[in-house]
Amino acid sequence: MKAEASVKEQTATKTGADLLVEALIDQKVDTLFGYPGGAVLPIYDAIYRAKGSFDHILPRHEQGGIHAAEGYARVSGRPGVVIGTSGPGATNLVTGIADAMMDSIPLVIFTGQVAKGVIGTDAFQESDIMGITTPITKHNYQVQAIEELPRIVKEAFHIATTGRPGPVVVDIPKDISSTVQANKVDDSFHLPGYQPNLKPNPLQINKLHEALVAAKKPVVLAGSGIVHAGASDELREFVHNYQLPVTTTLLGLGSYPGNDDLSLGMAGMHGTYAANIALYECDLLINIGSRFDDRLTGNLKHFAPSATVAHIDVDPAEIGKNVPTQIPIVSDAKAALQSINKKKVQGLDHKNWMADIDHNKTECPLWHEQPESEIVPQWLIQKVYEYTKGEAVVTTDVGQHQMWAAQYYHFDRPNRWVTSGGLGTMGYGFPAAIGAQLADMDSTCVAIVGDGGFQMTMQELSILQERRLPVKVLIVNNQALGMVRQWQEKFYEERYSESIIDVQPDFVKLAESYQVPGYYIDSQKSLEEVLPKVLADDQPAVIDCRVLQKENVYPMIAPGKGLHEMIGVKKP
């Protein structure tokens, strides 16, 4: 990148904290998620003096704050910005940092640090946040001089949002944020070692085109790289030009319309039969922006065994990491698709392949038993989809409810689906919904959570009334750690070790104690009376929905098995 020349004249003395606030304003930050403490008091004093420049959200726990920032980033497309103090404030952010790293979410996290002179002395509330976060960040900094601060902030935002997005930590010792600076401050930067390759090699695009023309059984795997690159329109053009079947990863849901005739739904451990068999039998696999996660591939020995693999990814480290790749294309997904879309479409013959795929879609769809009056989670999700007309922003934790939401809520556009994919973080879904709602106040935002995960971050209910956010919290309550219970049933001979939650709070009274309306539903009739009214309301709500405890997520690929060895498939 060409060095930027911008030297700011300081007309008055300013502290490091003032320079930080100015740098955030320069980055057009409108929302901060942060929790004050001793080491960041100078920063919070500067924020107070700059009142009106940002909307500051005070979570009740730092983990809630950083997951909210993740939800904000995923829906808005802008980086989430987080502030935490030193020691426990910083370490409470670690789960969210790791989560963002796994899912390529752009975050810039500012942590307070003890003064430079006492770093390394086990000072009060000191933690080695640089050492802790080095393996779970795209980059991290510890500011050593006040003059560095504006440049580092600028670099941090650049690194977090370019190439493959990710979290960047800026650790600021307290004496840096309180030091006074009166001289010129140069915030220009030059990063010769960081030059993401965004444009595809034309020769590799030609190879992909030749492979497409020769293929009899092609399939596209769409990952979250499509969403991050804003390439959904280009993907639709590509797919329709070549009439290609499309499956998505968990995080790629919404990158291609779930109800389109060419969509196979989600692939992987709890994906559709049609999607997984297509990946197993294809002769050309075009992976766009997916990292071939093990929950997607199953046993690698049986993954796409007869296919030529083309992999488009902005991160070259992902190509060939898990699956041997014959056509590697290092590029931003949007640029690569724009290039292939310019090629002439000719000589395609996929009729037999498409007939096989349509047969699998029709004869082996997702299924579930439907009791007369009790609520099964699949039916619950279908009702949420129906009442919201598929237009809601949906967030989840991890587990059974996450998989049912992925299977039965048909995402038709990007940035409507916010979930913890790589790290699988319980407690993620509700605070992520807060950030998602802040990023899009015009949409209905539904947090579909389990009764276990909700109890990890439910203290953030405080924010709903405080900020008048109409988030709907839908607790899929099976009084169990559902996915753990399912695995114990299938693979541990029904030894339910510590997975059944017999004692729970009264979630309705809990919600009301936070001045949030609460509802209890335990039958199809009560659900159909309550859910549509609550979803259409402009108030926040907590809905405790009791579902069958022993309902399992199917179909499923058992550990060590291949995509073609799914269990729980309903065949004619």
Do 546 and 557 meet the contact criterion of CB atoms below 8 Å apart? no
The token duo for 557 is 């690929």
By CB atoms closer than 10 A (0-12, 13-18, 19+), residue 388 is: buried
Decide: helix, strand or coil at residue 179: coil
Cα–Cα dist 245/259, whole Å: 12
Catalytic, out of 62, 70, 234, 281: 62
Give CA–CA dist 508/398, Å, rounded. Answer: 22
Cα–Cα distance, 408 to 543 (Å, whole number): 19
Whether 216 is a known active-site residue: answer no
Catalytic residue among 124, 391, 528, 533: 124
**Considering 10, 125, 459, 539, which one is annotated as catalytic?**
125
Q: Give me the residue label for tokens 């440049």.
A: 151
Cis (ω within 30 of 0) for the bond into 555?
Answer: yes
* The pair of three-digit structure tokens given for residue 304, joined into one six-digit string: 């796409």
**What are the tokens at 33?**
């998620």
Q: Identify residue 489 by its one-letter amino acid code.
A: E
Q: Pull the structure tokens for residue 285.
A: 């696999």
59, 24 contact by CB (below 8 A): no
Q: Among candidates 140, 60, 66, which has minimal Cα distance to 103?
A: 66
Q: Look up 292 and say whether it is catalytic.
A: no
Identify the active-site residue in 138, 154, 174, 472. Answer: 174
- Residues 526, 370, 251, 92: what is their CA dihedral angle, to the nearest 10 degrees? 50
Residue 14: closest CA among 40, 39, 50, 38: 50
Note if 338 is an active site residue.
no
The burial class, CB within 10 Å (0-12 / 13-18 / 19+), for 522 is middle
Structure tokens at 408: 């039965």
Find the catalytic residue in 269, 483, 556, 566: 483
Q: What angle do CA 295, 241, 224 make, to 5 degrees?
A: 30
Q: Look at residue 34 and give its three-state secondary structure.
A: strand
H helix or E strand, kind and range, residue 81: strand 80-84
Tokens for 88, please give them: 């426990």
| Burial class of residue 399, CB neighbours in 10 A (0-12, 13-18, 19+) | buried
Query: Which residue has 């916010």 as its token pair?
Result: 418
Catalytic residues: 62, 124-125, 174, 483
